[in-house]
Chain A
Amino acid sequence: MKKILILGGGTGGTIVANRLAHRLRPEDASIEVVSDSPLHYYQPAQLYIPFGEEDPRKIARSERKLLNPKVHLRTETVSEWLPDKQALRTAKGETLSYDYLVIATGSVPCPEAVEGFVAGADHFYTPEAAYRLYHKLSEFEGGRLVVGVGGIPYKCPVAPLEFTLLAEAFLTHKGIRSHTEIVYTFPLNDVFQIPSVVPVVRALFERRSIRAETFFNLESVDAEKKVVKSLEGTELPFDILVMTPPHKGAPFLRGHPMADNDGWVKTDRTTLRVNGLPNVWALGDTTDLPISKAGSTAHFEAPVVVEQIEAAITRQEPPPGKATYNGHVTCFIDAGYGKATILDFDYAHPPAVNEPDEFRHLQKIAFNKLYWYLVPTAVI
């Protein structure tokens, strides 16, 4: 019997585990998920916590209850990966062996990587940080709000844009927009990394008087003087600073021979195999692929990994076209005021973006509620 280890109890790891449990017979393979948390977080909901629209206590559920009963769940932290021995070591000192390995350990926000960030900046990339920001925004009486991206790559590329637009609507509803300046910073030469998205965002920013500061690569935060500084020499004063922290891969992957220094795993863009290894795959935020680190990426990648593992175990060729990933990603952009738009793209087709409307907003809200029943369970 083959042993399949899946690292990570997020969207990617859970879908792969549940799909494999449906496809393989228990006598053919054992399936085990190794996660450092017993909880599964729906991370896109964190965006809404600062505005009081989500309860941080309600965005996580039991990973055990989301997994097929045939999947074993081990709650432990992986500390070392030994590809030559087809084994992993855990923080408790146990050794886990595998025949097939799936790495879906995601990305980790690292505010401590920037001088002054922890003392002077806020973010919404953990439930705790988002809740602290909720209190700060509730007590805010106007001034200068600076929102920005503190390093590329980061989780959910549209989230800082969404936060900026939602904050503008929130401050308007609160009656303090007229005496609040909003500045959005981005590391590149424009407001977003996908050129076809830029005109729509630029138009929204202009209509809502949001100023963009581009080529702003976060260098440090002076918490005492309330000034954020860029590598390019720009200094921006702020009353509230909401920065997307730099992100890294899981600690055990940083500097690993199969990953780069930041822990992004070397992954083939179509097969999702890791660095030429025949029995190891990576998906979701974990990879070094130049695509969005987003739940939808993991969602669309998972079936590709499953097809290849099933083919390897049953010694059959995978169905044509089903075992290759085409770069498909889907992201909503919530623009505030009950409107949203959607980006849908792949390696060959950049997104065509429409003006935000009510239908897409309702679609996003519905998806946020239905996620638990449809996505980790692999219904869709």
Chain B
Amino acid sequence: MEGIKITKESDARGSFCPGPLMEMIRLVRSANVGDVVAVISGDEGSKKDIPAWINKARYELVGMEEAAPGGTRIICRKNH
């Protein structure tokens, strides 16, 4: 995700559902409108649950990328 400036990132590897999703919700709550936040999760379910929550809350899923070792970085923009 070149060119994207992440304001806050949380490494939630080692915690399982709903830990990474709750971590994303916590980050978004504390962010300002326009901020980009990211959670690194090692839980496979997060790849589905976190984007589904971002969609429900009408925020923007900036992207998902592999974050070695054993994690996926899920990036969200708080756009409203």
Contact = CB atoms under 8 A, between A and B. Distances in A.
A92 B21 CA distance: 41
B64 interface: no
Question: Could you say which interface size class chain A belongs to?
Answer: 10 to 19
Interface in B19-75: 19, 21-22, 25, 28-29, 49, 52-53, 56-58
Contacts of B49: 188-189
Given A193-B17, A290-B16, A231 B25 contact: yes
B57 A215 contact: yes
A233 B21 CA distance: 17
B25 A217 contact: yes
A188 B17 CA distance: 10
Interface in A112-168: 152
A55 interface: no
Contacts of B53: 189, 215, 232
A290 B25 CA distance: 17
Nearest to B28: A231
Nearest to B50: A189
Given A215-B57, A231-B57, A233-B57, A193 B18 contact: yes
Given A215-B53, A215-B56, A231-B57, A152 B28 contact: no
Contacts of A193: 17-18
A188 B21 contact: yes
B15 interface: yes
A290 B15 contact: yes
Chain B's interface size range is 10 to 19
A187 interface: yes
A290 B19 CA distance: 8
Contact of B22 (A152, A189, A232, A233): A152
Contact of A231 (B15, B18, B29): B29
A188 B21 CA distance: 8
A188 B48 CA distance: 12
A256 B10 CA distance: 19
Contacts of B28: 231
A217 B53 CA distance: 10
A187 B28 CA distance: 14
B18 A232 contact: no
A231 B16 CA distance: 22
A46 to B, nearest CB: 25
A231 B15 CA distance: 23
A293 to B, nearest CB: 14
Contact of A152 (B16, B18, B56): B18
A268 to B, nearest CB: 12
Interface in A181-233: 187-189, 193, 215, 217, 231-233
Contacts of A152: 18, 22
A232 B21 CA distance: 14
Contacts of B29: 231
Nearest to A234: B56
Nearest to A262: B26
A187 B22 contact: yes
B19 A189 contact: no
B30 to A, nearest CB: 10
Contacts of A189: 49, 52-53
A295 to B, nearest CB: 22
A290 B53 CA distance: 20
A193 B16 CA distance: 11
A290 B20 CA distance: 11
Interface of B: 15-19, 21-22, 25, 28-29, 49, 52-53, 56-58
Interface of A: 152, 187-189, 193, 215, 217, 231-233, 290
Closest 5 CB pairs of A and B: A232-B57, A215-B56, A232-B56, A188-B18, A152-B22
18 contacts: A152-B22, A187-B22, A187-B25, A188-B21, A189-B49, A189-B52, A189-B53, A193-B17, A215-B53, A231-B25, A231-B29, A231-B57, A232-B53, A232-B56, A232-B57, A233-B58, A290-B15, A290-B19
